[in-house]
């Protein structure tokens, strides 16, 4: 990573934990997880709680839907690490990698529920342009999405608008296919805490 402290500035306990994770998973701890341990009282503790609540808390969106939102926002933000991580997690959650690929390649033509498609379109506009209007929200509501679901989707968007920026700025190492698959398995089993 671009800041050396994010690679090597951890205490003995955290370093031991990283070694243990590597031993059991066969893969090094991804940079996205590492930075939540660095001075976790500053950022990581709150951000892990928020991301877990957005991605795994109670919601009318499925886990796969929320992981697809994360991948889609990350694609708009051009964050290769986060696209890889959350495409793999969405594909595993849906048990349908082609659906995820199609949504990221061509939102209008992908085999998605109309409500999810309208929500992704709105999140994409918010991420690309920095704002949306009431008409954008009315389009999502008229596709059958509830107000609460839109609030939930906006929280997912916040989490990944933040993580994407940190991934790009700090220079998170893009994992191998096997690394992303291992990460996806972990995120579906344990979440973001």
Q: Give me the residues that bind other proteins (CB under 8 A), please.
A: 2-6, 9, 38-39, 41-43, 46-47, 49-50, 53-54, 57, 77-79, 122, 126-127, 130-138, 141, 147, 150-152, 154-155, 157-158, 161-162, 164-171
- Please list, in sequence order, all residues whose beta carbon lies within 8 angstroms of the beta carbon of residue 151, skipping any fewer than 6 positions away: none
Least distance (Å) from other proteins to the CB of residue 62? 17
Distance CA 102, CA 90 (A): 12
Least distance (Å) from other proteins to the CB of residue 128? 10
Least distance (Å) from other proteins to the CB of residue 162? 4
Least distance (Å) from other proteins to the CB of residue 21? 22
Nearer to other proteins, 25 or 162 (CB): 162
Nearer to other proteins, 6 or 187 (CB): 6
Least distance (Å) from other proteins to the CB of residue 109? 25
Nearer to other proteins, 91 or 127 (CB): 127
Nearer to other proteins, 13 or 130 (CB): 130
Nearer to other proteins, 88 or 157 (CB): 157
Three-state SS across the chain?
A: CCCCHHHHCCCHHHHHHHHHHHHHHCCCCCHHHHHHHCCCCCCHHHHHHHHHHHHHCCCCCCHHHHHHHHHHHHHHCCCHHHHHHHHHHHHHHHCCHHHHHHHHHCCCCCCCCHHHHHHHHHHHHHHHHCCCCHHHHHHHHHCCCCHHHHHHHHHHHHHHHHHHHHHHHHCCCCCCHHHHHHHHHHHHHHCCC
Nearer to other proteins, 91 or 175 (CB): 175
Least distance (Å) from other proteins to the CB of residue 75? 11
């Amino acid at each position: 990573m671009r800041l050396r402290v994010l690679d090597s500035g951890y205490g003995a306990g955290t370093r031991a934990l990283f070694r243990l994770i590597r031993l059991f998973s066969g893969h090094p701890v991804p940079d996205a997880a590492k930075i939540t341990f660095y001075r976790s009282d500053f950022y990581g503790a709150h951000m892990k709680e928020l991301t877990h609540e957005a991605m795994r808390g109670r919601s009318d969106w499925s886990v796969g839907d929320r992981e697809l939102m994360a991948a889609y926002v990350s694609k708009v933000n051009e964050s290769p690490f986060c696209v890889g991580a959350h495409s793999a997690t969405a594909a595993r959650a849906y048990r349908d990698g082609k659906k995820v690929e199609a949504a990221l390649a061509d939102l209008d033509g992908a085999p998605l529920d109309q409500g999810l498609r309208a929500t992704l379109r709105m999140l994409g506009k918010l991420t690309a342009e920095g704002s949306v209007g009431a008409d954008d929200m009315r389009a999502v509501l008229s596709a059958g999405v509830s107000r609460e679901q839109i609030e939930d989707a906006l929280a997912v968007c916040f989490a990944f608008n933040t993580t994407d920026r940190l991934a790009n700025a700090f220079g998170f190492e893009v994992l191998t296919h096997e690394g992303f698959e291992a990460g996806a398995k972990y995120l579906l089993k344990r979440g973001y805490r």
